[in-house]
Structure 1
């Protein structure tokens, strides 16, 4: 009897200690730090800013707001854009924005949600072209962002590798156009219109919009379905509340 009593007393004490510890674990869990997720962006104003007092740009601010709403902390990463895409596609649960959903990229990423549409056109200093066909016949060198969807689009439209001139994303293509090193700049309309006044006072001529594709918040191919669901819901909530439009208008006033 004494042995049984001793065992029971030992178990009772263990259970008592467990009962004391469990509430502490629950409280700690409730106040645990949010899971930190890597978000890869690039310096492509006004879509994304790497270092600007106003914020991270239209798509950058939407991505960060969606992550906070979904309960995630953000760790920003900035790499050359082609390397960022390769890195994110090969990892697990890494995010990237803004990314155009193109056929070449379709199977390399998990596409969470569209943030905004992106129209693209040819920009020149002399005369604008009206179509891809005319551009193929007219331009010897067309500047595009290195690793951008613009490269893929021109290849798909039949432009030769000699015509496509990849340059570091940012104001580099605008500077090359101003110096006459390229004949045209094929790029997103909001980005080009934002960058050009900071480069020159010369009039920038724009062709009709030749291509349009939405910009997405995307994830690695191997991505948690729960995280995708939470972020997708967060972006749709931001859209429904008008917050995405307010962020857009802060960087690009009507």
Structure 2
């Protein structure tokens, strides 16, 4: 169902699936173009979680989806504050919240008081920024070359990368960001088996965020939903 939540900057929409009580998984999509490639996949995971008795929500964050905040006006700080507002919404009704972050979506939950975090192939802000630089250079070809420093300070704010109008404030926010990782808060990291970086579990599958067009992988979604549901239940005791 379509619902909404309030935060200090206004009101945003969200998709809600699963039971109306118990723990709630808050899903954060990757930033910018990868969000388009993974949204259907994320909703498929949510439907699978509902079948396992786990509630989940997929919020529009400022500058994303149907948000009234323009993409070029959004900052990572605003997104984190909105995420925090959603957590407080469920906290007021006595429901535990758990973060699920896909790729750079793992940067979103840093301000929120979660009972645990589950991150799929999480990116640091530096990794994301370097990827944006590569995308911009591929767009401009030999006409102009960008690096991490020039893309943040590029003249003509905002800068357009893969059709997204991104402000220098957002890029500066991203440059110093990293996923929340503190020993006292449970965190589980999954990566594709082609990724050499450390993880709690490696998954066999193709990274949908690398494909040229939006796609889905129901079998992979079922595998990830099993992992998320088991992890949430273990955290909740």
TM-score by structure 1 length? 0.25
Higher relative contact order, chain-length normalized (CA < 8 Å, sep 6+): 1
- Mark the structure with the bigger radius of gyration: 1
TM-score by structure 2 length? 0.26
